[in-house]
């Protein structure tokens, strides 16, 4: 008889338990955002991006960025690229890179990342401007 009461209690609690589970995220619920969209032209420029959960606005730490590219596609020069290297993060959800913005004008930063606990790949293209 005790096992029947236990089963009834579990069955009664099940809908409540399901109602309190967090909603599952989709890779589209995340995005990279530039900390600054305008940077000084030159070598050793630090580009900082934040990865946020669009549902809550909170930063997302520990993403694995496996693709990064910077080019002048906004000015019609997609083949004009620059080396870009990752730097250590200064705060959770913030990702930093150093590059050479050799010319003033529009630059496109392309990133691809895996987010801990999510399936799929996040891909974003961000536009920034190098000024003299």
Domain harbouring 30, CATH code: 2.60.40.1080
- pLDDT single digits (tens) 50-59: 999 999 999 9
- The verdict on residue 11 lying in a domain is no
Report pTM: 0.80
Within a 10 A sphere around the Cβ of 10, how many other Cβ atoms?
10
- Residue 122 confidence (pLDDT): 98
- pLDDT single digits (tens) 104-131: 999 999 999 999 999 999 999 999 999 9
- Domain with 64 in it: 25-131
Using a 10 angstrom Cβ sphere, with 0-12 exposed, 13-18 middle and 19 or more buried, the burial of residue 32 is buried
What is the C-alpha separation between 59 and 19, in angstroms, rounded?
25
- The verdict on residue 6 lying in a domain is no
- The verdict on residue 34 lying in a domain is yes
Determine if residue 37 is left, alpha or beta; phi over 0 gives left, psi from -120 to 50 gives alpha, anything else beta.
alpha
- pLDDT single digits (tens) 81-93: 999 999 999 999 9
What is the tally of structural domains in the chain? Answer: 1
- The verdict on residue 19 lying in a domain is no
């Amino acid at each position: 008889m005790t096992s029947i009461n236990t089963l009834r209690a579990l069955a009664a609690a099940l809908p409540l338990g399901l109602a309190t589970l967090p909603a599952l995220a989709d890779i589209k619920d995340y995005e990279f955002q530039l900390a600054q969209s305008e940077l000084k032209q030159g070598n050793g420029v630090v580009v900082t991006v934040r990865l946020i959960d669009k549902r809550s606005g909170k930063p997302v730490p520990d993403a694995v960025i496996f693709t990064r590219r910077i080019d002048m596609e906004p000015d019609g020069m997609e083949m004009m690229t620059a080396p870009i290297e990752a730097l250590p993060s200064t705060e959770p959800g913030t990702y930093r890179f150093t590059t050479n913005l050799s010319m003033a004008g529009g630059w496109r930063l392309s990133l691809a990342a895996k987010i801990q606990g999510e399936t799929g790949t996040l891909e974003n293209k961000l536009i920034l401007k190098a000024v003299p």
